[in-house]
Amino acid sequence: MELYRDPAVPVEKRVEDLLSRMTLEEKAAQMMCVWQRKADTLVAATGEFDPAKAKAAFGEGHGIGQVGRPSDAGGGRSPRQMAELTNAIQRFFLENSRLGIPVIFHEECLHGHAAPGATSFPQPIGLAATFDPDLVERLYAMTAYEARVRGTHQALTPVLDLARDPRWGRVEETFGEDPYLVTRMGVAAVRGFQGDAPGSYRDGRHVLATLKHFVAHGQPEGGQNCGPANISLRELRDNFLRPFEVAVREAGAAAVMASYNEVDGVPSHANRWLLRDVLRGEWGFRGFVVSDYYAIWELADRPDTHGHGVAADKREACALAVKAGVNIELPEPDAYLHLVDLVREGVLEEAELDELVAPMLRAKFELGLFDDPYVDPALAERVVGCAEHGALALEAAREAITLLKNDGGLAPLDPAKIRTLAVIGPNANRVLLGGYSGTPPHVVTVLEGMRARVGAEVEVLYAEGCRITIGGSWNEDVVTPSDPAEDRRQIAEAVEVARRADVVVLVIGGNEQTSREAWSRTHMGDRARLELVGRQDELVDAIVATGKPVVAVLFNGRPLALGHLVETVPTILECWYLGQEGGRAVAEVLFGDVNPSGKLPISFPRSAGHLPVFYNHKPSARRGYLFDDATPLFPFGFGLSYTTFAVSNVRLEHAVIPRDGRTRVLAEVTNTGERAGTEVVQLYIRDRVSSVTRPVKELKGFARVALRPGETRTVALEITPASLAFHDIHMNEVVEPGEFAIMVGTSSRDADLQTVLLRVE
């Protein structure tokens, strides 16, 4: 038996032996993937494996590194069908490549496996609103299990971009604007996906996590997807790189996806400093880097979107990406088709390919694919979309909902005092999951959730009110605005419905077309304005004019400029996209079965003209505007409850520590209201005098605290050297001596914080 085939041999020895046996062509094949081309090379039109196509395409026996998204074959595979397909494809490559090297199947798993039948939970921006890393870890462990039993090995998730420009259409994919929150959620996601990797991969429940987009993709120039990131090296180090670094060092992330954008004139897929010096050299990353889809091509020129112009053609782009350290090109064989020729011509060394292929072989051995490559289709059918996973999705939806306003205490609603309830709005009975979504086993709209909650005791009326766009989906290129005349006709109908009701629930916001990934010049999703799209403000005014009590429920993928709504409506809930159980969770919160506990993971601007509005700005920023307010409409960390909380007796365990010392800040948190509820206590820190300018405050800790009415609990939050460190005037990461303001409270707003001083000597 060849050494690499022996399960008893250590993984590194198996990798070394296999690599020594591989031809140049076989090494190049491991650096390639097929996705849409699997329809021509692996899969019949109906979605089943096609051995004739496979032998025609891969008959030379070189194999292939990855197969992308088998779940979408033939228009979509059920859990059982996908398991059968991945088994068949895997068997082909094991039996029809010279060395029997298995393939990795990758899938999108942003908020659940993006596949038919998979459980769908809130988008990451909603998960971030929970401030609950334990919940996030459980959700991604669930996702890993659902994906792995179908044959998936790698998730192209989590997104660790800092979303610092709400005009950008991909905000929903992120955990928000703050480096610390994104870090803790990112670490939780990686641990959920990978478990105690690499040992846990062989349990059949875990997959490789992929950190993306590396780096600084979330603050593009003009808020336009893939735009240059005009960010300094110090900002990169202290903010944008931080979540990736911790996810690599602490959670052992297996893979990283380079980003489309450029930093300081260097596109990430050609950035040796980023992918080699920092990622591998400084952080000790031993995994592999995948390209974003078609991004190596874009180092030259891709007419349908853009080209960076740092390569003359795909051949030069291939050489740049290899030298930068991109292990595999996704999603199709394209620029990396030049690998063999570039080695033979002396432009690349074969040893450079060896270096990039080895980590991917290691992952295949660690996953157990050489020893136990197949999955059980019957198990996939039982596990995916099961009731237990739906219950977890419901728990997440409940925690994500954020109460922004509740003047007069209209919510929670009392069904005993309501005979007729109107549910009105373009999002009231629309399936809203957001981007990179599959087709879950069921979806509950707000209308359905409200009717199920009140039963026959309350009559529930419905009117669409207006539309945001005409039909369409996240995937379709063309976005058709709603018709003004038709909208106004529907508004008039909605007014008549509202007049018959005791209370109106107005469900508005955005949809999957008004905020999404702009992946080409014909598929846009970034916006220059942040107000409600279409005639929604007219609908709000018309319904409020009836004099009926109104609760506004928002579904959207990015923060919106809600000034008019805030001035007009007394009660507002922010829901983001809540996944398959969204309507049920909204009904439970509106009727007080669940007390909202969400907090904003991103600041809400007053208008697009107020951007940037992220809370952790420098001292010279936000001086004010003529005729306007520079503060956010709603600040980072903000969220109300149906009860009230008081934070008191904020104190330090040690008020003076050495630079390498630790302490804790303690505070008493009391539920001062009449309902049980959960508060998120937040710790912010500011270095008062420093060698370079520092933010006015930075989140460095938080804790969810569940309290009964009248209950008090002591919360202790750790302050470590990492809480205080930054890159100084010499670009060294240090803790400088001096005074630090330690702020504890319920949001990033100054009025919600209490301060004590810590001295570092």
User: What residues have CB less than 8 Å from 153, skipping those under 6 apart?
Assistant: 104, 105, 106, 207, 208, 363, 367, 369
Residue among 657, 713, 704 nearest 685 (CA): 657
Distances (CA, A) of 352 to 248, 325, 339, 348, 409: 23, 9, 11, 7, 65
- DSSP secondary structure code for residue 692 in this structure: S
Residues annotated as catalytic (active site), given as ranges: 292
Q: What crossing angle do the helices spanning 179-194 and 133-148 adopt, rounded to 10°?
A: 40
Buried b (16+ CB within 10 A) or exposed e, 121-146: bbbbbbbbbbbbbebbbbbbbbbbbb
Task: Quote the pTM value.
Answer: 0.98
Residues contacting residue 111 through CB under 8 Å, at least 6 positions apart: 120, 121, 122, 123, 124, 127, 433, 434, 436, 437, 577, 579
Task: Say if residues 423 and 446 touch (Cβ distance below 8 Å).
Answer: yes
- Separation of alpha carbons 110 and 624, rounded Å: 38
Please, which residues bridge with residue 504 across strands?
A: 422, 550
Q: How many CB atoms lie within 10 A of CB 196?
A: 11
User: Tell me, what's the pLDDT at 631?
Assistant: 96
Q: What is the pLDDT of residue 472?
A: 82
Return the number of other C-beta atoms located less than 10 Å from residue 712's C-beta. Answer: 13
Residue with tokens 């809600």: 562
pLDDT of residue 60: 95
Looking at residue 471, what is its pLDDT? 86
* β 698-707/677-687 pair status: antiparallel
Alpha carbon distance 265, 471 (integer Å)? 40
Cβ contact 244:250 at 8 Å: no
CA distance linking residue 125 with residue 241, whole number of Å: 19
Paired with 509 in beta bridges are 555
The pLDDT assigned to 713 comes to 98
- Contacts of residue 512, defined as CB under 8 A and 6 or more positions apart, other chains included, come to 432, 433, 434, 435, 473, 474, 557
Per-10-residue mean pLDDT for the chain, 761 residues long? Answer: 95 98 98 98 97 97 98 97 98 97 98 98 98 98 98 98 98 98 98 94 97 98 96 97 98 98 98 98 98 98 94 98 98 98 98 98 98 97 98 98 97 96 98 96 98 96 97 90 97 98 98 95 95 98 98 98 98 98 98 98 98 98 94 98 98 98 98 98 98 98 98 98 98 98 98 98 97
Structure tokens at 92: 């082909």
